[in-house]
Chains A and B, each alone.
Chain A
Amino acid sequence: MTVYDPSDSVVTATLDEQPATRRAGAFRRLLRTPLGLASLVALAVVVLLGLLEPILSTHDPLFASLEHINAPVGTPGWPLGGDQYGRDIWARVLTSINVSLVSALIGAGVGISVGTVFGLIAGYVGKRTDAVASWVFNLLMTFPALVLVMVLYPVVGSAYQGMMLIFGVFLAPGIFRLVRNLVEGVRNELYVDAAKVSGLSNLRILSRHVFYVVRGPVIISAAFLSSAAIGVQAGLAFLGFGSTQTPSFGSMTSDAFQSIYTQPVQLVWPALFLAVLNGGLILLGNAYRDVLAGPQSTRTKKRSLHEATVVGSATPRTAPSRSAGGLLSVRNLRVQYPAPEGGMKTVVDGLSLDVQPGEIVGLVGESGSGKTQTAFSVLGLLPKEAHITADVMTLAGDSLLGKKPAALRALRGGTISYVPQEPMANLDPSFTIGSQLMEGLVKGMSRKEAKEAILALLDRVGIPDPERTFRSYPHQISGGMAQRVLIAGAVVSRPKLLIADEPTTALDVTVQAEILDLLRELQRELGMGVLLVTHNFGVVADLCDRVVVMKQGELVEEGSVRDIFHRPSRPYTRELVGAILDEQTVRSDRPADNASRKDDLR
């Protein structure tokens, strides 16, 4: 895990326990949403009406009967009445549906196919191809599409299909940009590299590995583009572009406009069907987008700003009075998260922990053991969905139970401070190192004094040129330097307890050794207690006095660092220590022995 994500361990754990479940298809999930179902049904009804036009209408949409000029709704044979020329409105509506659908198919179809094909190619090939294609499509985007379609009207002729073809080309740049950016994002995914190494042709990689990423967003855009094409076709026809022989919602609206004071109801029919078509398409697109984003949106990906507070247990197992002195004292800590399928998922279960002043305690365990969750509940940094209870949680004699977030905030950066795993991710790229460190300094200090204190501190944590680093932005320094900066920020307030979460995992081994040296020196100088969360037993051996071993949220064993390494009492600890790669054993078999053995795999 590179970036801290509290829900990660929870979700992986639940997935592992589940039996194999096939993901329900996106379409089936779409049918399960009320919005998706409603818009699909509405669209299906309209489309069906259009398709059944030969059966449902008794007249040709162009047939004019003098007896039925402005005939009222409900006239036998003229269910929606006649228009000002005596044409059957019902027949005209049905034909207009077909015209709209064909417009949508042509407009969106051309836009999507041109945009997707070129987007896939430009995004995947990159370099010059991408530059040329992007330039052309950007140029296309600057043309006012509607105006150009009108200008080209004399060239393409009066058939609406031709106009939609041209309009479709102008819809392509949007799709092109969407697809290109998505493809560029996946092009460097390792599974695409793996597919290349597997000997797949580019076409196969595009269709199997890249296209699936693009598919969802393109389908969503297809709905919106269809709606746009229908609207534009109607608009052009309303303005009088296109053959008068082709009934369409646009020309119907235009006709109805001429008798709007005498026969206002004639305006209702084209407007109604146009609204259902366009609204249905847009809502369908929205519903499909929600379906695709579904599982992620219900789960809070980012850590919320409102921190959860630790609540005292309802039924304490240990009497609160029994809390020993110590710097940090935790009894019966329990952290739970609401599980997606209901109920609660426990990630830390009844953990007790003590850190004495000036002591370095290692909190060890594999991923999903709850070690980070434990550290974060002490810091008060777990997301608000977390239910945290404990019988006792005291820091330097002060109970943390039920403390308001504001009070906890005051503690953090004061009595208790924190060194994270990913130094770069924890520095704001848009501010200089100096300004970020100054922020944490105690108020009531002049800027000059604060700067001097920071410079002295940067020097103390082993940064070669403090003045320059002070003025640098995070991307200008190395990962090791960034971690030194964060350590400087953590000790600036002379904390009593330092919580370090895998502080060297992201660093190179030579840098790691230096950071560990620095932590040890600072701990001695300031007499801090340190809670070190790590999975690396080398780091534990280097730094820790005492070790707490965790597995699946529970405490397995606790003891002095020598006992844990030399005399582990629990089987799990023995397994963990046993898994450490021995320093003495070097691989001894010869490669020739392997080469001669060429067994068939199968």
Chain B
Amino acid sequence: MTALLEVEDLRLTYPGRGFRRRSAEILKGISLSISPGETLGLVGESGSGKTTLGRAVLGLAAPTGGAIRFEGRDITHASPRDRRALARDIQVVFQDPYTSLNPALQIADILAEPLIAQGTNPIEARRTALTLLDRVGMPSNSAERYPREFSGGQRQRVAIARALALRPKLIVCDEPVSALDLTTQARVMDLFIELQRETGVAYLFITHDLSVVRHISHRVAVMYRGELVETGDTAVVTSTPSHSYTRDLLLAAPTPDPDRQRERREARRELRAAQAARTAP
């Protein structure tokens, strides 16, 4: 199967601020690929560069090296015009549903906007917006309401509907369920999977939560300080990780069972002790 998205040796450096400040290298040569209809889970802690990678794919951050290819086309430095055309193929769902929807616009306008920008006529776009709302499980009377009238989970559904509006081939999901309550989180994740089965969209699913990744990803890529330390099938990476950082990450995630958590805690302590012994002179 040919890859939908290919990222090859991607580098991104932020120039230092001020006189003679060191610049910060956020991405240190990342390579990965996503097939059509696939979910690639991108795991890492804060500062690992996972969000920056997502933004580079979306064209919101400019890479300083390497290449991003979409369906074989190089989009690393796509022109603004090409980017606008790419909107039909690559979409986004952000983490914070409170700031990702313009508070001054009605839900229907938020959903119609990408369609109108791509040339759909406003009446048609509004009709599609209603279908989309229904599709993501929002009540039909929500079209004329404002984002602040909805809970976090509902807003995230609206954000998903907006991402789906142009029927993209890839959606970059940047921690889309991290800000949600547990029960809401489970429902929103089921929605993601269901929509993928129906539309064949691929996800680059960025998260720090291993249990979320396990649930939603076909494959997992683990990032650590700007580098990709491990990639592989979800089942393999989340049960028998090869890199010590991934092992660390797995054992650190608390499991919701008091007895198994105790075992995990002991295992983590042993790993830590072993690491300390190795680094000690």
The answer, yes or no, to whether A200 is at the interface (CB within 8 Å) is: yes
B135 lies within 8 A of A601 (CB): yes
Q: Mark B113-143, 1 if CB is under 8 A from A, else 0.
A: 1100110000000001001100100000110
Question: Given A197-B91, A580-B182, A601-B135, A15 and B84 touching (CB < 8 A)?
Answer: no
B182 lies within 8 A of A196 (CB): no
B84 lies within 8 A of A199 (CB): yes
- Which of A189, A510, A587, A601 interacts with B216 by CB under 8 Å? A587
B255 lies within 8 A of A541 (CB): yes
B152 lies within 8 A of A367 (CB): yes
Residues in B with CB closer than 8 Å to A22 are 144
Find the A residue at minimum CB distance from B1.
A592
B254 lies within 8 A of A513 (CB): yes
A536 lies within 8 A of B87 (CB): no
Q: Which of B6-14, B22-30, B245-253 contacts A (4 or more CB under 8 A)?
A: B245-253
The answer, yes or no, to whether A459 is at the interface (CB within 8 Å) is: no
SS class, residues of chain A in contact with chain B: helix
A508 lies within 8 A of B46 (CB): yes
The answer, yes or no, to whether A465 is at the interface (CB within 8 Å) is: no
A189 lies within 8 A of B99 (CB): yes
The answer, yes or no, to whether B66 is at the interface (CB within 8 Å) is: no
Residues in A with CB closer than 8 Å to B165 are 198
Find the B residue at minimum CB distance from A514.
B252
- Which of A208, A479, A585, A590 interacts with B215 by CB under 8 Å? A585
Nearest chain B CB to A541 CB, angstrom units: 4
A366 lies within 8 A of B182 (CB): yes
Question: Given A16-B149, A591-B35, A190 and B162 touching (CB < 8 A)?
Answer: no
A10-57 residues with Cβ-Cβ distance < 8 A to B are 12, 15-16, 18, 20, 22-23
B256 lies within 8 A of A537 (CB): yes
Residues in A with CB closer than 8 Å to B88 are 199
The answer, yes or no, to whether A597 is at the interface (CB within 8 Å) is: yes
Question: Given A200-B117, A204-B117, A595-B36, A541 and B261 touching (CB < 8 A)?
Answer: yes
The answer, yes or no, to whether B240 is at the interface (CB within 8 Å) is: no
The answer, yes or no, to whether A194 is at the interface (CB within 8 Å) is: yes
Residues in A with CB closer than 8 Å to B184 are 366
A510 lies within 8 A of B45 (CB): yes
Q: Mark A179-212, 1 if CB is under 8 A from B, else 0.
A: 0000000000111011111111110100011001
A313-354 residues with Cβ-Cβ distance < 8 A to B are none
Residues in B with CB closer than 8 Å to A593 are 37, 197
Question: Given A191-B99, A198-B114, A200-B113, A583 and B182 touching (CB < 8 A)?
Answer: no
Find the B residue at minimum CB distance from A213.
B104
What's the tally of chain B residues with a CB closer than 8 Å to chain A? Answer: 96
A190–B174 alpha-carbon span in the complex (Å) = 11
The answer, yes or no, to whether A598 is at the interface (CB within 8 Å) is: yes
The answer, yes or no, to whether A151 is at the interface (CB within 8 Å) is: no
A517–B262 alpha-carbon span in the complex (Å) = 11
B199 lies within 8 A of A191 (CB): no
What's the tally of chain A residues with a CB closer than 8 Å to chain B? Answer: 70
- Which of B150, B152, B198 interacts with A599 by CB under 8 Å? B198
A565 lies within 8 A of B214 (CB): no
A586 lies within 8 A of B238 (CB): yes
The answer, yes or no, to whether A404 is at the interface (CB within 8 Å) is: no
The answer, yes or no, to whether A575 is at the interface (CB within 8 Å) is: yes
A536-573 residues with Cβ-Cβ distance < 8 A to B are 536-542, 561-562, 565
Known: A198-B166, A199-B84, A199-B85. 16 other contacts (CB 8 A): A20-B144, A191-B101, A194-B100, A200-B117, A202-B80, A366-B184, A367-B181, A508-B208, A509-B249, A582-B211, A592-B37, A595-B1, A595-B37, A597-B37, A597-B200, A602-B128
Query: A-side interface residues toward B, CB under 8 Å?
Result: 12, 15-16, 18, 20, 22-23, 189-191, 193-202, 204, 208-209, 212, 366-367, 479, 508-510, 512-513, 516-517, 535-542, 561-562, 565, 575-577, 579-583, 585-587, 589-602
Q: What are 5 pairs between A and B in contact, CB < 8 Å?
A: A15-B149, A198-B91, A198-B117, A509-B208, A599-B200
Query: B-side interface residues toward A, CB under 8 Å?
Result: 1, 35-39, 45-46, 58-60, 80, 83-88, 90-92, 94, 96, 99-102, 104-105, 113-114, 117-118, 128, 131-132, 135, 141-142, 144-146, 148-152, 159, 162, 164-167, 181-186, 189, 193, 196-202, 208-212, 214-218, 234-235, 238-239, 248-249, 251-259, 261, 265, 268
